[in-house]
Chains A and B, each alone.
Chain A
Amino acid sequence: AQKITQTQPGMFVQEKEAVTLDCTYDTSDQSYGLFWYKQPSSGEMIFLIYQGSYDEQNATEGRYSLNFQKARKSANLVISASQLGDSAMYFCAMREGLNTDKLIFGTGTRLQVFP
């Protein structure tokens, strides 16, 4: 079974609008971490935001926020006020347990922001 599922291969959003990128995960661990990374066309992987399984509040970093719904095992990324520079691949990833550094990545969502 997929540990991390990103069901949207591609998304379009108009500049200045908000967009939600979906991510669901599968784990039986109580302690885990969820991450989002951005990969622009230049190829580098850029860390965006982190949510720990015990964090009670949703993580936010500037225009990025993580809509964490533990019971539904979802960790959706919300980008507010989209900019043309947000066009990129976005990857959701999970670290299971406390004693591993292994990140398991989803298949990614390609976001295109249009004027």
Chain B
Amino acid sequence: DTAVSQTPKYLVTQMGNDKSIKCEQNLGHDTMYWYKQDSKKFLKIMFSYNNKELIINETVPNRFSPKSPDKAHLNLHINSLELGDSAVYFCASSLYSYEQYFGPGTRLTVT
């Protein structure tokens, strides 16, 4: 009974490729998020969706595109991957503005 799940857990790919990370939550939450954690462990929000509507869109290259097919899913697609995209990407969800519950993270390595 995983609450917030992400696939894949690890992703190794070459520069220039396009990749997607999937996220699903079974908590009945209405808001989902993508965060990026860099090599120094700094965590920064990228996007949030509320009921499939984009709410937060931080200063993120437009190579990153989130897609929310329904309230329980939020996927992250990245085009033309660059070395600097290497990081851990976390999906999270929350109900209203209460605490956010995080997925296990996806470690992306771009070579």
Which of A35, A45, A98, A105: most chain B CB closer than 10 A?
A45
A50 contacts B48, C-beta separation under 8 Å: no
Contact of A95 among B44, B55, B88, B97 (CB under 8 A): B97
Q: Which of B70-111 contact A (CB under 8 A)?
A: 88, 90, 92, 94, 97-105, 107
Overall SS of chain B's interface: strand
Q: Give chain B's interface residues, CB within 8 Å of chain A.
A: 31, 33, 40-45, 48, 50, 55-56, 88, 90, 92, 94, 97-105, 107
**With A45-B90, A45-B102 given, is the CB distance from A89 to B41 under 8 Å?**
yes
Contact assessment for A35 and B99 in the assembled complex, using a CB-CB cutoff below 8 Å: yes
A: which residues have CB within 8 A of B? Answer: 33, 35, 37, 39, 43-47, 50, 89, 91, 95, 98, 100-105, 107-108
Interface majority SS on A: helix, strand, loop or mixed? strand
Chain B residue numbers with a CB within 8 Å of A107 are 40-42
Closest Cβ–Cβ distance, residue A42 to chain B (whole Å)? 8
| Min C-beta distance of A114 to chain B, whole Å | 21
